[in-house]
Chain A
């Protein structure tokens, strides 16, 4: 208790120095938090792009990817009959120029059966204005909405089909936030009997994949977990490079802590002598100084988490506004935990040598009057 009070007051006594040291740690931690939240966001985007909650995506064998594939809508019914298939959703993707409220805009349209939006995106599709679309209606993702700035109820002209703009939605994926969603029936006149692909949920993707490809000619079923894993592995290189960078930032922060603690030990030699004279063991003296370096690092860690999240949010937002770039960031308790763990690491490692120096102080020399 007294030890902690002492640590707090020592930091307060040298405000500027403490603040600079804390900031040094905070910058390192914010790098860690920022990089891992953006990396998580990228992984999430990949998952969404590759099928949301689906474990298999059925597309035409000849198409390079599900977005450009075309299937007859009867495929879904045939897939559904295969044992082990729990759930299926047909999706029609279409990239086209639409006119909304008189403004022309290229956009990706995703049409699914009503009520299946969450499943396709793989996370909650939340209406933040109006509602999610029913037949004859469309909704815009928040990024697209901000770019186009339409009004609710505007007419969306798909070139042959006119829909009513029923709402704006948001999801945890920025990729999805750039799209327009509607129902399959709304765009019947455009697609005829065609859909792009069928999203399939099953607990046994390997077997069901083989079964689908055996029973239905001309289709291919992609195992999303494998595809996602492949993409994420590519991403890992980027993440490792980022973490190496934040390691360097952490080391710089740690050196700052070590320097501050060493100065503190030098300044407080007499105090250390006094502690020993009244019965502090070497281990106790070490602990007292480690508490102080931990305190600096934990405050720096907390500040770094806040700065990392807030800073990334601001940068992501700016990039969107100025450059139209969509970056998904995802902050999980895990990310924050990682930030704090690095902070604790900094506290211990940078505090160890100064604390050991403190423990070694010869009380007799320290107490001699100059």
Chain B
């Protein structure tokens, strides 16, 4: 049995925005194993993003236990949580979320600057690895296509060699062709041994995963290999 890299037990998340109270997660138990390609699917509003954020120490649960990098995150300081996000996990978002005032290369080096220091050679290697050619390195994000931007975002997620990549609908804004290419990038990273957790509501993507978890109304309702889960 492979080592568990992220572990959730009875995780609840309640959002109180004014008078309304939203229970985004209602008791989620989940273990992410090293090297697996895990996909979390579910309808809009089912709590997928919330779950992913908690898995990456970007958000904390209202109750329940979350262990990331072997540590219970609810007791950690801002600095320690930031350190986990910086080194242990790498986020990839639907909206790419690159920093517009930084070049492609600088975007990839930004998490490095927060850690041990900028390593330009490494940043270049990562960009080439995710399939972005050198001519784009000094461009700004608004000079790139969606597919290219997402490659930069993936390279940035890899900046400090994280244990897990956490991707939230990474193909949500891409056409079919670009979607496919980005999925291939994730697949090849996974084949190199990188753990991947991906959130999507696109059921056609489940075939790329080793394991699929179905979320509905903040609860895991089904779990299994891609062809086991019905829906």
Contact = CB atoms under 8 A, between A and B. Distances in A.
Interface of A: 1-3, 5-6, 9-10, 13, 270-271, 273-284, 363-364, 367-369
A13 B114 contact: no
A275 B114 CA distance: 9
A240 B217 CA distance: 68
A279 to B, nearest CB: 2
Contact of B58 (A3, A13, A271, A364): A364
B59 A278 contact: no
B114 A284 contact: yes
Given A277-B85, A281-B78, A2 B58 contact: no
Contact of B115 (A10, A271, A279): A279
B188 interface: no
Contacts of B106: 2, 5
B102 A2 contact: yes
Interface stretch (B25-33, B88-96, B124-132, B174-182): B88-96
A367 B93 contact: yes
Interface in B83-122: 83, 85-87, 90-91, 93-95, 97-102, 106, 109-111, 113-115, 118
A13 B142 CA distance: 13
A274 B113 contact: no
B67 interface: no
Given A278-B114, A278-B156, A13 B101 contact: yes
B99 A279 contact: no
Contact of B109 (A2, A282, A364): A2
- Nearest 9 Cβ contacts at the A-B interface: A279-B86, A9-B101, A281-B82, A278-B111, A279-B85, A274-B97, A277-B91, A2-B113, A279-B114
21 contacts: A2-B110, A5-B106, A270-B97, A274-B98, A277-B97, A278-B86, A278-B90, A278-B91, A278-B156, A279-B82, A279-B86, A279-B87, A280-B82, A280-B86, A282-B78, A283-B79, A363-B58, A364-B50, A367-B97, A368-B49, A369-B94
Q: Interface residues of A: mostly helix, strand, loop or mixed?
A: helix
A328 B135 CA distance: 59
Range class of the B interface residue count: 35 or more
Interface hub of A2, A277, A280, A364 (most chain B Cβ within 10 A): A277
B53 interface: yes
Nearest to B13: A364
A2 B111 CA distance: 10
Contact of B99 (A274, A282, A363, A368): A274
A61 to B, nearest CB: 75
Given A271-B100, A279-B114, A284-B114, 13 more contacts: A2-B102, A2-B106, A2-B113, A13-B101, A273-B97, A276-B85, A277-B58, A279-B85, A279-B115, A281-B78, A281-B79, A281-B82, A364-B59
A274 B53 CA distance: 12
B93 A6 contact: no
A2 B156 CA distance: 14
A345 to B, nearest CB: 27
Contacts of B156: 278
Q: Which of A1, A2, A9, A275 has the largest number of chain B CB atoms within 10 A? A: A2
Q: Taking each of A13, A282, A364, which has the highest tally of chain B beta carbons within 10 Å of its own beta carbon? A: A364
B23 to A, nearest CB: 16
A364 B118 contact: no
A279 B111 contact: yes
B113 A3 contact: yes
Nearest to B113: A2
Given A2-B113, A284-B114, A279 B83 contact: yes
A281 B49 CA distance: 21
Among A1, A6, A281, residue most surrounded by chain B Cβ atoms (within 10 Å):
A281
B118 A1 contact: yes
A191 B109 CA distance: 83
A5 B79 CA distance: 24
Contacts of A10: 101
Contacts of A284: 82, 114
